[in-house]
Structure 1
Amino acid sequence: MSEQLTHIDDEGRARMVDVGDKAHTDRRAVARATVRMSAATAAAVRDGDAPKGDVLGPARIAGIQAAKRTWELIPLCHQLPLSSVDVTAEVEVGERDGRVVLVATARTRAQTGVEMEALTAASVAALTVYDMVKALEKGVEIADVVLLEKSGGRSGAWRRDEA
C-alpha cells in the first residue's frame, strides 16, 4: 500500500516526498473559489461600497501572499520558487443573489507541481472577501474551491471537465 501512497513511508508514517531526482519543468496550475452572497452585498463589492472599502484589491493581494507561503501552511508541501501568481476576481450580481469568483494561476519551474499554491491562493482570496463583507451579511458562503487545470511534470496536462 505504501508504494501507492507517495506521502506515506513503509511504516505508515507521513513523510515529505523526495523530489530530488525529478527534472525541473515548467508547471502551471489554475484554481477557483466562489463566494456566494446576496445581490445587495455583491453590488456593494462591485461598487466599492463595503464597510471596509475595496474588497477585491485586498483579496487579490492576500491570495498572492498565501501562495508564496503555502509550504508553511500545508505540512508536506515543498517550498517552490514561484515565477508568478495571479488572482483575478469577477463579481456577478443577479436579481436575488450574487457571487465573487476568484481564479488563481500559479507558475513555477520546479521539480514538483504548483496545484497547492493555486488552491491556497484562491482559498485565502475567498476568505478575504468573506472578512471584508461579513459586516454586511453573516450568511456569506465560500464554496467550490476546485483545481481547474494543471500542466507540467510527469503526469502532464489535466483540465476539469465542467460540462
Structure 2
Amino acid sequence: MTPAKTLTHLDAAGRPAMVDVSGKAVGPRQALAECRVRFPAAVAAQLRASGLRSAKGGIVETAVIAGTMAVKRTHELIPFCHPLPIDGVRIAIDWQGERELRIECLVKTVHRTGVEMEALTGATIAALTIYDMCKALSHAIVLGPAKLVGKRGGKRDIGKIG
C-alpha cells in the first residue's frame, strides 16, 4: 500500500506555511508547462493574416517577454513559492490547429526546490498577455487548460520534457 499523500503547505497545526527546503539537496530542476489560447474562427483567421501582429505590437514577442518576466516574479505572486535563481526560460508559442495557440514554458534552475509553479506562471501570463492584446477583436477568446507537462529533479520525475 502506498502512504496517503498530504498537503505540503500546512504546518502540524494545519495552518498555511512555506515548506522548509533547507535540508534538501541542491540539484538541477526543470519543469515544462503549457497553456492554450482558443480563438473564434474569424479572429483566428484575422490573426493568421496579420502574422500575429496587432496595433499594440507583435503579439507573440510581447507574450514571450511577459511570460519570462512572470517566471522571475512567481514568488511575488504566489505566497509560498520560494524565490529561486532562474537559470533558463524558454517560451514557445505556435499554432495548434486552425484556432488555437499552444504556449509552452520551460524553466530551469539548480536549487533545492522545483520550478513547476514558475513554468505554470510563465505559460498562463503569456496566455493572458495574448488575450489582452487580442480582446479588441473578441471577448470570446478562451484560455486553458493550463497544465504541467513534465518536471525533472527532486523526489520524482513526472511527464515528459522535450
Structure 2 unaligned blocks of 5 or more: none
Q: Hey, what does 2:158 align to over in structure 1?
A: 158
Q: Which runs of 4+ in 1 moved over 3 A?
A: 43-46
- What RMSD over aligned residues (CA atoms) do the two structures have, in Å? 1.6
Partners of 1:58 and 1:49 in 2: how far apart? 10
SS at match of 1:72: helix
Partner of 1:102: helix, strand, or coil?
A: strand
Counterpart check, 1:75 vs 2:76: no
Return the offset for 1:41.
2.1
Given candidates 88, 91, 95, the residue that maps to 1:87 is 91
The residue that corresponds to 1:127 in the other structure is 128
> How does 1:12-161 map onto structure 2 within 5 Å?
12-46=14-48, 47-92=51-96, 94=98, 98-155=99-156, 157-159=157-159
| Aligned partners of 1:51 and 1:135 also within 8 Å | no
**TM-score w.r.t. length of structure 1:** 0.89
Shift of 1:142: 0.3
Q: Deviations over 1:11-57 (max 9, x none)?
A: 11000010001111100100000000023322343413433231100
Matched-pair contact (CA < 8 Å) for 1:43–1:93 = no
Instruction: Provide the C-alpha distance between the structure 2 equivalents of 1:75 and 1:115, rounded to a whole number of angstroms.
Output: 15
Alpha-carbon separation, structure 1, partners of 2:101 and 2:87: 26
Quick one: which amino acid aligns to residue 142 of structure 1?
Answer: L
Structure-2-length-normalised TM-score? 0.89
- Identity score, percent: 43
The whole-number CA distance in structure 1 between the counterparts of 2:97 and 2:54 is: 15
* Residue-pair matches, total: 154
Alpha-carbon distance change, 45 to 60 in structure 1, aligned in 2, over 3 angstroms: farther
- Matched residues in 1 for 2:57 and 2:8: separation? 45
| Alpha-carbon distance between aligned partners in 2 of 1:124 and 1:115, rounded to the nearest angstrom | 14
What 5-or-longer segments of structure 1 have no aligned partner? none
